Amino acid sequence: MTPIVLIHGGGLDGRCWDRLVPHLQGPVLAVDLPGRGVHPTSLDSVDFALCAASVRSDIDAIGFDRVALVGHSLAGCSMPAMIRLLGERVSHAVFVACTVPESGSSAFDTLDPEIQAMIRSAGEPLEPAPMDPALAKVVLGNDLDEEQLAWCSERLVPEAPRLSTDPVDLSPFDIPMPRTWVRTLQDLIVPAAKQARFAINVGDCPVVDLDAGHMCMISQPAALGGILNAIAA
């Protein structure tokens, strides 16, 4: 089995994968991106290059050679930099409900204009903060039961602003490499239709549909684990 490296999405850390990991059959590493968990640093300093360097360092430290890189949600923006840095060490790239903007644009640019205007009108926050639990219930918890939602909410952390606002460079996707998109059909924060558009940005990327919400690693860990195990095998 090819080792699986799990890259969390925005406002989360490596703990978000804890319910999925027991369903994975081979070696697995759930990383913390810089600014959270085992990699504390100023969130304002975190960009795609720093994330890529951190992930490579974690992979080197655990001793993995070639890996299947699995990203969730906002990780779709930082994965190109990781693929560039790791090169042929990435045997397969998996995008789970990811945001992958067109090259030269940002995750913020993919938001509906009304939401962009609301964010701009609110002004810059004094410092990054975790997602409001009430908002998390709406956009992340539509297929989570009360216990699952509480478990998820306890793992929400502040996010690095630049991972949402910096433009992405998708040129690393020119590297020949198998890739798969896992599309979450009940997703409210990255709807299935938008994911179909993002999958095109990844290139030749077969789509596997999963009847789940955005936090499918919590609501349906066995189903997601089966998809990833088939890829790692």
Q: What are the pLDDT digits (tens) for 75-123?
A: 999 999 999 999 999 999 999 999 999 999 999 999 877 766 766 665 5
What percentage of residues in the chain have a pLDDT greater than 70?
95
Which residues form the domain of 40?
Answer: 4-232
CB proximity list for 3: less than 8 A, separation 6 or greater: 26, 27, 28, 29, 64, 66, 67, 68, 232
Which pLDDT value is given to residue 228? 98
Give me the number of domains the chain comprises.
Answer: 1
Of 229, 232, 214, 55, residue with least CA distance to 143? 214
Report how far apart the first and last C-alpha atoms of the chain are (Å, whole number): 5
Which pLDDT value is given to residue 111? 81
| Neighbouring-strand partners of residue 210 | 184
Are β-strands 207-210 and 179-184 bridged in parallel, bridged antiparallel, or unpaired? Answer: parallel
CATH code for the domain of 122: 3.40.50.1820
Name residue 65's amino acid: D
Give the DSSP letter of residue 211: S
Q: What is the mean pLDDT of residues 225-233?
A: 97
Tell the residue number behind the tokens 């999963």, with chain if given: 210
Burial annotation 62-100 (CB, 10 A radius, 16+ → b, else e): eebeebbbbbbbbbbbbbbbbbbbbeebbbbbbbbbbbb
Q: What is the mean pLDDT of residues 57-77?
A: 98
Confidence of residue 185 (pLDDT cuts 50, 70, 90): very high
Whole-model pTM?
A: 0.95
Which pLDDT value is given to residue 133? 87
The mean pLDDT value of the chain amounts to 94
